[in-house]
Amino acid sequence: MNPGASLVQAGRAFGARLTPNLRGALWMLASAVLFTAMTTLIKSLGAGYPAALQTFYRQAAGAIVLLPLVARDWRGALRTTRPGILVFRSSAGVVAMILAFYAYQELPLADANALSFTRTLWLVPLAALVLREPLGPLRIGAALAGFAGVLIMLRPGGHGGHWLGWPQAAALASALLFALTITGMKVMTRDHSPFTLLVYAAGLGLVFSIPPALFVWRWPSLPDLGLLALMGVIGTLTQGCYIKGMEAGEAAVMAPIDYTRLVFAVAAGFLLFHETPSPAVLAGAAVVIASTLVISLREHQLARRRVVEQAR
């Protein structure tokens, strides 16, 4: 018997014995580990390759990985009724990625990761403005508490006399733009499959990443090209593992597991870059994580309530 086939069958049998939430948790942990590996490469390559150039290679590698899947049914993968929103999502996503990569290059990994969690906080006002969702006192209070945690992390006067440096501003702006793309995704998933959205994000994202990359263009050495390509592939795998985790388990259970990437970021920063997060960053991150968990749990409760009401 083929040893490879035996391993695949054994893996499937093991997976079948796991509960959905446990399967989802394993996917989410894999996503967190891969995300840490990607950000480590971003920071390691930052000295020679600016954020805009890294974003181009990230998008190029992701598009290449998706090509075989698109080839199976390219008409279905590209079918859309709202190209304008797709263009906006992709352009905002590219700018968000450039800003995020810049933040990961310039900030300690723990700081950049902690500030990236604010995208959940940005979703609260965006849901009210764009999706017309009602805001209750719990969601408003949790969002305000979360932004207070951001202020703790930023430590007024702790960045050379300035309470907000360019890397911190880039991280917050990136989180806001990513929140905008998530809001757009919520609108688009009403009549588009997640795969279609992923294909457009990869294809249009590659197109939109070319102009800013040309301003800082340099040809990489062969080893660096391999690392840049690896970074892009890992980024695509990170998204895939995150989606699989959310599909397999309950969103309310999966959401807290995503925050393990902060633990991995602290470990990677300490071991590879000799970074030690300050008490202010850890305290602020704890407030932000607690706030976003409250918001996530509330969203889950509201979603389940809507399902029950529709079933009646």
Give the sign of the dihedral formed by CA 84, CA 89, CA 92, CA 97.
negative
Read off the tokens for 17: 């014995």
Could you tell me if 112 and 171 are in contact, meaning their C-beta atoms sit under 8 angstroms apart?
Answer: yes
Domain ranges across the chain:
21-311
Backbone phi, then psi, for 134, in 5-degree steps? -70, 145
Element (H, E) at 97: helix 83-106
Give the span between the Cα atoms of 242 and 257, in whole angstroms.
10
Q: Which of 40, 67, 34 has its CA nearest to residue 206?
A: 67
DSSP codes joined into one string, 9-48: HHHHHHHHHS-HHHHHHHHHHHHHHHHHHHHHHHHHHTTT
Q: What is the dihedral of CA 17, 20, 24, 27, to 10 degrees?
A: 30
156 torsion bin: left (phi>0), alpha (psi -120 to 50), beta (else)? beta
Stretches in the chain below the pLDDT threshold 50: 4, 7-8, 10-11, 157, 159-161
Specify the amino acid at residue 23. Answer: R
pLDDT for the residue 310:
64
pLDDT for the residue 13:
53
